[in-house]
Amino acid sequence: MSSAPKKSSSAKDKESGVRSQESAAADSTRLPVPRNRYVIFLAIALLGFAADWMTKEAVFDWLGVHADFVEKSHPENLSRWRGDPSRDHLWWLWKGRLGIQTSINTGALFGMGAGRWWLFASLAVVALIGIPTWLFYFGAAHDRWITVAIGSVTGGILGNLYDRLGLWDSAGLQADFQHGVRDWILFVWPESGMKMFNPWPNFNIADSLLVTGAIMLVVHAFVWREKKEEKEDRSQETGDRKQEAGTRR
């Protein structure tokens, strides 16, 4: 004869309710992802990539690049990449603070890993495989906020991957820069007194999309998600109290 204490009916009912909630949550993750999530994700990713690509093409055709990036053994290379002679590869939107200046980054953030374009390109390809798998196979796209955030990240990945694969017309540049990422947004913050802001390393729309998506994911993890979990906890406590009240009757 077992000496283990018998569970009360209310405890059994509570455990059964928890199991049913867990089962329902698991089932919800297997529900088909709404079609509009595919549209949202693809629209943000493709429009972001298009905006990045078009602005790079327009700015580099207009301002060219500094002679340090150019293969100087052939004079026609310098002529091709000279750009508008009156601009000297720089045009201020807000004098001394925000402008357009062409540059080519052969590394990642702040120029880290310079020259290892193949490594960053490989990581980007892996990400482009993993992202839709997570969103649409494992169901993360049920969350609209995550869909928008990851769409932004994907647009940024595509924009910089295009450059790293050397798909843009880089003829006439030094070999080291032919797989570099084209940057053109210049930001300066002289009042800060910090060297990193004077100037901030040049960036592009793809970088902006990556940062925006990352910030949205952080907000989701520490703000929006916590509120949702608190709401679920309160609803579960309310359900438990109702169940206990029914058992007493």
* Contact present, 147 and 41 (Cβ < 8 Å): yes
Residue 65 CB partners (closer than 8 Å, separation 6+): 81, 83, 89, 102, 103, 104, 173
* Contact present, 147 and 42 (Cβ < 8 Å): no
**Active-site option among 52, 183, 233, 240:** 183
Whether 183 sits among the annotated catalytic residues: the reply is: yes
Residue 127 CB partners (closer than 8 Å, separation 6+): 157
In the 3-class helix/strand/coil scheme, how is 164-228 assigned residue by residue?
HCCCCCCCCECHHHCCCEEEEEEECCHHHCCHHHCCEEEECHHHHHHHHHHHHHHHHHHHHHHHH
* Contact present, 88 and 101 (Cβ < 8 Å): no
**Active-site option among 52, 207, 233, 240:** 207
Whether 84 sits among the annotated catalytic residues: the reply is: no
Q: Which stretches of the chain are assigned E, i.e. beta strand?
A: 90-94, 98-105, 181-187, 200-203
* Residues labelled catalytic: 183, 207
